[in-house]
């Protein structure tokens, strides 16, 4: 448990670790490439460590001994059968991505995760892979992990991705498609959630030498055959991790500069800055980074966060400190993350005295200026790093906010508490 100490004001410059999403994509592209790649500024965390261990088990040599530059020795798409099951914890991204990577190999692959991962769906990806002649099953028939894949390489040709509430299925298919036996095409049914992550996948693939033809709207793709080219690759700071520092400035009326998340960015989560600006924050871009200054009075807004679900808890917490109502639309997919985040955010905000409504795909927060109606509470984090980090922000204004199981931040941001507390001490 950790008790957050309120601050009078903030004036700090912070850096954040490398992007989780970019690190995992770069790891996979580098692992499948011909030759050695260097990844600069990667994220070392629980999730990326699961990804590295899995790639090693599949025969890829990964040297992460230097925390600022990892060396990945790509196998040109050759994937070995591992000696034992691949355990990925609650790493949704890696579970979805590595299922397709396993399909490139020859032999039997078991992919497992923790209890929560066994409730997070993957059926649309399984069905799409079957269209490329991959033999893959959900072991207990739930359409969730654990999975067994009998790898025989990817046939390619045409497949259809049924509608689903995760962009990770699509990114997963795209990442391996260049290695199919014949050129691959892909049709995507229904609404695509979290679209900026698909754009990120295409951008990383292009950076490693594979250009995909995508229809506008991302409902069809033509993926050329080819191999990734090994390269030196710089990874941006994590925008989702930066969101807690941006939010800290917003609710305290302080000033925080995040030094290493560029604008423009490959990360859709930077769109949160535009939403915070609509709520009244000032955003400046200088050589030092992006500076956000919180206003005297924050205003509630209405937003669609279907594209950027990971920062919806951050915005919801800020909204509790804004005058008026904030409506966050299109966030049903928050329910299949590390926990049911829609319900968790509503429950924990209510525990602090906020007036919040929960609907199947929306959250409505009736905020009060400076969070005058809020009081301290022990926040249940549901083993979800984003619940822990977003509610820590609330504690900068409201005395008595205690975050339980604070170690869960290790999934994406192992030294979050050190950086968070440095931000406040630097401001005094």
Ligand X SMILES: C=C(OP(=O)(O)O)C(=O)O
Ligand Y SMILES: O=C(O)C1=C[C@@H](OP(=O)(O)O)[C@@H](O)[C@H](O)C1
**Which residues here bind ligand Y, judged by CB under 6 A?**
21, 93, 166-168, 171, 193-194, 197, 309-310, 333
Contact string (CB under 6 A) for ligand X, positions 267-306, x = contact: ----------------------------------------
Contacts of 11 by beta carbon, 8 Å cutoff, 6+ apart: 254, 255, 256, 426, 427
Q: How many CB atoms lie within 10 A of CB 40?
A: 14
Joined together, the tokens standing for residue 97 give: 């991505």
Map the footprint of ligand X across residues 92-151, applying CB under 6 A.
Answer: 92-93
Rounded Cα–Cα distance for residues 387 and 229 (Å) = 38
Instruction: Give burial (CB, 10 Å; 0-12/13-18/19+) of 102.
Output: buried
What's the min distance (Å) between Cβ of 125 and ligand Y?
Answer: 11
Q: How many CB atoms lie within 10 A of CB 115?
A: 8
Q: Which does 390 bind (CB under 5 to 8 A by kind): ligand Y, ligand X, none?
A: none
- In the complex, residue closest to ligand X by CB: 92
Q: Which does 371 bind (CB under 5 to 8 A by kind): ligand X, ligand Y, none?
A: none
What's the min distance (Å) between Cβ of 269 and ligand Y?
Answer: 9
Which of 269, 310, 348, 380 binds ligand X (CB under 6 A)? It is: 310
Rounded Cα–Cα distance for residues 351 and 367 (Å) = 14
Q: Which does 193 bind (CB under 5 to 8 A by kind): ligand X, ligand Y, none?
A: ligand Y
Nearer to ligand Y, 93 or 112 (CB): 93
What's the min distance (Å) between Cβ of 309 and ligand Y?
Answer: 5
What's the min distance (Å) between Cβ of 132 and ligand X?
Answer: 23
Total binding residues toward ligand X, as defined by CB under 6 A = 9
Map the footprint of ligand X across residues 407-426, applying CB under 6 A.
Answer: 412
Residues marked as catalytic? 310
If one asks whether residue 337 binds ligand X (CB under 6 A), the answer comes out as yes
Nearer to ligand X, 12 or 413 (CB): 413
Rounded Cα–Cα distance for residues 265 and 284 (Å) = 15
Nearer to ligand X, 197 or 257 (CB): 197
Q: Which does 91 bind (CB under 5 to 8 A by kind): ligand X, ligand Y, none?
A: ligand X
Which residues are part of a known binding site? 20-21, 25, 92, 120, 166-168, 194, 310, 337, 341, 386, 411
Rounded Cα–Cα distance for residues 132 and 143 (Å) = 18
DSSP string across 139-165: TTSSSSS-EEEEEE---EEEEEE---S
Nearer to ligand X, 9 or 142 (CB): 142
Map the footprint of ligand X across residues 348-407, applying CB under 6 A.
Answer: 386
What is the phi/psi pair of residue 218, to 5°?
60, 30
From the list 204, 102, 192, 190, the residue with the least C-alpha distance to 145 is 102
Rounded Cα–Cα distance for residues 370 and 345 (Å) = 19
From the list 236, 201, 311, 196, the residue with the least C-alpha distance to 16 is 236
Instruction: State the residues that interact with ligand X by CB under 6 A.
Output: 90-93, 310, 337-338, 386, 412
């Amino acid at each position: 448990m950790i008790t957050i100490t309120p601050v009078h004001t903030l004036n700090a410059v912070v850096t954040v670790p490398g992007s989780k999403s970019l690190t995992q994509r770069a790891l996979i592209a580098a692992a499948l490439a011909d030759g050695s790649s260097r990844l600069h500024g990667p994220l070392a965390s629980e999730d990326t460590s699961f990804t590295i261990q899995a790639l090693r088990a599949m025969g890829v040599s990964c040297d992460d001994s230097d925390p600022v530059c990892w060396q990945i020795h790509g196998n040109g798409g050759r994937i070995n059968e591992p000696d034992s099951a691949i355990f990925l914890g609650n790493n949704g991204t890696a579970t979805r991505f590595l299922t397709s990577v396993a399909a490139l190999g020859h032999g039997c692959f078991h992919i497992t995760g923790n209890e929560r991962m066994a409730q997070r769906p993957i059926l649309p990806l399984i069905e799409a892979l079957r269209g490329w002649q991959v033999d893959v099953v959900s072991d207990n028939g739930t359409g969730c992990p654990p999975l067994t894949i009998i790898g025989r390489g990817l046939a390619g040709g045409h497949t259809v991705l049924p509608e689903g509430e995760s962009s990770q299925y699509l990114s997963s298919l795209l990442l391996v498609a260049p290695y199919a036996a014949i050129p691959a095409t892909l049709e995507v049914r229904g609404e695509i959630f979290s679209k900026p992550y698909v754009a990120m996948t295409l951008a990383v693939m292009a950076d490693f030498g594979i250009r995909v033809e995508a229809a506008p709207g991302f409902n069809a793709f033509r993926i050329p055959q080819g191999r990734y080219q090994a390269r030196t690759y710089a990874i941006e700071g994590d925008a989702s991790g930066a969101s807690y520092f941006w939010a800290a400035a917003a609710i305290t009326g302080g000033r925080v500069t995040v030094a290493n998340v560029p604008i423009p960015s490959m990360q859709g989560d930077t769109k949160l800055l535009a939403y915070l600006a609509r709520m009244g924050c000032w955003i400046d871009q200088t050589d030092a980074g992006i500076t956000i200054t919180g206003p005297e009075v924050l205003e509630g807004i209405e937003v669609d966060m279907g594209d950027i679900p990971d920062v919806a808890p951050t915005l919801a917490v800020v909204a509790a400190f804004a005058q008026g109502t904030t409506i966050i639309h299109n966030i049903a997919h928050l329910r299949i993350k590390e926990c049911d985040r829609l319900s968790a955010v509503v429950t924990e905000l209510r525990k602090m005295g906020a007036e919040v409504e929960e609907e199947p795909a929306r959250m409505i927060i009736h905020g009060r200026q400076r969070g005058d109606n809020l009081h301290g509470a022990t926040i249940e984090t549901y083993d979800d790093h984003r619940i822990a980090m977003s509610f820590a922000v609330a504690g900068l204004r409201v005395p008595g906010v205690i975050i339980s199981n604070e170690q869960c931040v290790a999934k994406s941001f192992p030294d979050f508490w050190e950086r968070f507390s440095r931000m406040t001490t630097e401001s005094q």
